Structure 1
Amino acid sequence: MGTKLLRFKHKGNTYWGVFEKQVHIVEHEAKSLHDILSNGREAIELAKRNERVISEEEITLLSPVTEDSNIFCQGTNYSKHREEAGFTKQKPPYNLLFTKASSTLTSATADIVYPSHIQLLDYEIELGVIIKNNITVPTKITDNNIGDYIDGFVIANDLSARDVQIVEQQWFKGKSYRGFCPVGPYIYLLDKKEIHYLDQLELHLQINGETRQRVITNQLLYKPAETLTEMSEIFNLKTGDLILTGTPGGVCLRLDSEIINMIYDNAITHQDKIDYFIKTQQHNGYLKPGDIMRLEIKSTDGVIDLGVQENKLIQATDKY
């Protein structure tokens, strides 16, 4: 079985821990995910057997992915979501890659501030994979060797301000507000024999108890081995980096050729585009303050369980 690695606060101090019914403290002062994965393996293993434990109720969860990690993302990587976004459902000729700011990272239980000027906030459940070893040269990654490059799995929610992302055509900006990437509750560090579960994980997202997204990862169009191979040909990846593999159908966003043509028409004013876009989207069930997002990822046979992520959206105030 794999290891459930979490990061948390207890009595004002920050710790790494291993979750096994109770929280076993890892005796290592790593400040970052990169550090604990690079230098703290022995301490993680020892934590499973030590007696320095805390009950889950006594801790405050933090994001197990730390802000020194890069967040690399795949877009429109499931057929149904491609159709929602105005594309054909077939696998496209290229992998759509983008990034999110690492300051979006927050915990699996934190309240998420709904920016006051955003009108169309959308959710996106995604399987996150954690990079195991630095990749600094073009590398052929296959189903046979991918266990050398993926360390673990984690739940992520790629929250997206669609009225910025789509109208301004800025994916980075629309997805990079603080708190727009809840991660966790923990990273499931894989035993090498478990890497085949990449194709057997079920993603499930609910809003206020209503199922909105549900899919199994065997439906990914660009799978992790192919994606990491391509990434390695372009840029470096380091231990602890987070790859978001794409969201399935069931988001609030709905695009068609008429909307897309409107957005790209430079003769139309920005305000007219905003007004038109909001009118087309306003009945699609977008998030609002007070909504509760519940995300789960489990293997279809129940062997791997990434826990539960549950975040409430709160209205922005002068405090923020």
Structure 2
Amino acid sequence: MSRTIIRYAEGGTPRWGVQFGHLIAPLDVHAPSTGDLLSRHWDLLWAIAPENASVPLERVEVLSPVTQHQQFICQGVNYRSHIAESGLRLEDFPFNTIFTKAPSSITAADAPVVRPAHVQLLDYEIELGLVLRAPVPAGTMVGPGDLPRWLAGVTIVNDLSARDVQLPQGQFYKGKSYRGFGPVGPALVLLTPQEWARWPELHMRLSVNGQTRQDAYCAEMIHGPMATLTELAALQDLHPGDLIATGTPAGCAARAPGKLVMFILKHLMSDAGKWRAFIGKGRSNPAYLRPGDRISASIRTDDGAIDLGEQTTAITAP
């Protein structure tokens, strides 16, 4: 069965451990990064026994299981429902949309996130995060059953996005890379080969102030892990511990305007006017995140056999 890896601070010093229920089995390892842990101590992660668990989870500060030394690669428009709510057509996106977030945006699953003073349209995106186990050589073709060879496990990612920066400026990286815009965790859940076959069954849920906003299964993904790893291997180097966020389903605050509004925006307004109207309308949309809002995000199979835990993120003012 899966292994739940926790990175935590006790007395201010970051450490690694394996979680068993509400206790942590500390690992006596030197691993400054997630990649170091996975490449040097893989067997130990699976060998440590529940009897070694002695540290109460509530006594420690849980950190992101993906360190800021890793690449943070993302997929966009990768869920059919999200394409539809964005006013786009599936047939216009036959390709896998890839971009990156700054690794410095990574933060803990329960860390407060500051909404920058100039950002008014702060949005949420729950995503399944894939964490690399091994370097993927250039030209690798990832076939059925190969995921356990290249991937270590899965985690929860919230791809927080400043829509009033991302969309008017056409800059995904800038709009999604502010510090704190990448809550990851609380755990990195290592999967067995049998469990990797169940990734489409993972059920993603996100709520804001107790109101459900996103609720979907990973089976809705258009470009799955196998295809994405194959494509990325043809583009760039991938390293142990690197993080791939696989896209979000419907339910985001940003929505496509109606057909009449779209016609006016397209034919009767300049680009500058269009984006002024977009931001002005967005300011009255209560779905965008504001200081004081609390986000809860979870990913698990319906039978509970694979459970990635829960994120609890508070949005704060500068």
- 1:250-293 per-residue CA deviation (whole Å, 9 max, x = no partner) reads 00111357669959999544xx4542111232325101001000
- 1:210-259 per-residue CA deviation (whole Å, 9 max, x = no partner) reads 00000011111111111111111111111111111100000011135766
Evaluate the alpha carbon distance shift between residue 265 and residue 44 of structure 1 in structure 2; reply closer, same or farther with a 3 A threshold.
farther
1:106 aligns with 2:111: no
Residue 198 (structure 1) shift:
1.2
Identity %: 37
* Equivalent residue number for residue 197 of structure 2: 196
Evaluate the alpha carbon distance shift between residue 107 and residue 259 of structure 1 in structure 2; reply closer, same or farther with a 3 A threshold.
farther
Residue 187 (structure 1) shift:
0.3
Distance 1:204 1:288 in 2: 20
1:6 aligns with 2:3: no
* Equivalent residue number for residue 302 of structure 1: 304
* Equivalent residue number for residue 152 of structure 1: 153
Of 152-161 and 292-301, more deviation after overlay is shown by 292-301
Evaluate the alpha carbon distance shift between residue 99 and residue 262 of structure 1 in structure 2; reply closer, same or farther with a 3 A threshold.
farther
Evaluate the alpha carbon distance shift between residue 299 and residue 10 of structure 1 in structure 2; reply closer, same or farther with a 3 A threshold.
same
Question: TM-score, structure 1 length as denominator?
Answer: 0.93
Alignment-mate amino acid for residue 4 of structure 1? T
- 1:95-120 per-residue CA deviation (whole Å, 9 max, x = no partner) reads 11100000010001101111111010
- 1:11-42 per-residue CA deviation (whole Å, 9 max, x = no partner) reads 12110011002011011011100000000124
Alignment-mate amino acid for residue 309 of structure 2? G
Distance 2:28 2:268 in 1: 58
Distance 2:266 2:208 in 1: 29
The aligned runs of 1:64-213 (5 Å cut-off) are 64-90=65-91, 92-213=93-214
Distance 2:264 2:229 in 1: 33
* Equivalent residue number for residue 222 of structure 1: 223
Distance 2:203 2:286 in 1: 24
Distance 1:90 1:75 in 2: 15
Q: Contact 1:259 / 1:277 at 8 angstroms: preserved in 2?
A: no
Distance 2:112 2:124 in 1: 14
Question: TM-score, structure 2 length as denominator?
Answer: 0.93
Residue 299 (structure 1) shift:
1.0
Q: Contact 1:85 / 1:254 at 8 angstroms: preserved in 2?
A: yes
Q: Contact 1:27 / 1:47 at 8 angstroms: preserved in 2?
A: no
Evaluate the alpha carbon distance shift between residue 261 and residue 40 of structure 1 in structure 2; reply closer, same or farther with a 3 A threshold.
farther
Alignment-mate amino acid for residue 209 of structure 2? N
Residue 136 (structure 1) shift:
2.7
Distance 1:179 1:264 in 2: 38
Evaluate the alpha carbon distance shift between residue 190 and residue 52 of structure 1 in structure 2; reply closer, same or farther with a 3 A threshold.
closer
1:290 aligns with 2:296: no
Q: Contact 2:156 / 2:299 at 8 angstroms: preserved in 1?
A: yes
Q: CA RMSD in A?
A: 2.1
* Equivalent residue number for residue 18 of structure 1: 18
Q: Contact 1:111 / 1:312 at 8 angstroms: preserved in 2?
A: yes
SS of the residue corresponding to residue 80 of structure 1 reads helix
Evaluate the alpha carbon distance shift between residue 161 and residue 189 of structure 1 in structure 2; reply closer, same or farther with a 3 A threshold.
same
Question: Any stretches of 5+ residues in structure 1 without a counterpart?
Answer: none
Evaluate the alpha carbon distance shift between residue 277 and residue 302 of structure 1 in structure 2; reply closer, same or farther with a 3 A threshold.
same
- 1:84-103 per-residue CA deviation (whole Å, 9 max, x = no partner) reads 22211458211111000000
SS of the residue corresponding to residue 198 of structure 2 reads helix
Aligned residues: 314
* Equivalent residue number for residue 312 of structure 1: 314
Distance 1:296 1:25 in 2: 25
SS of the residue corresponding to residue 297 of structure 1 reads strand
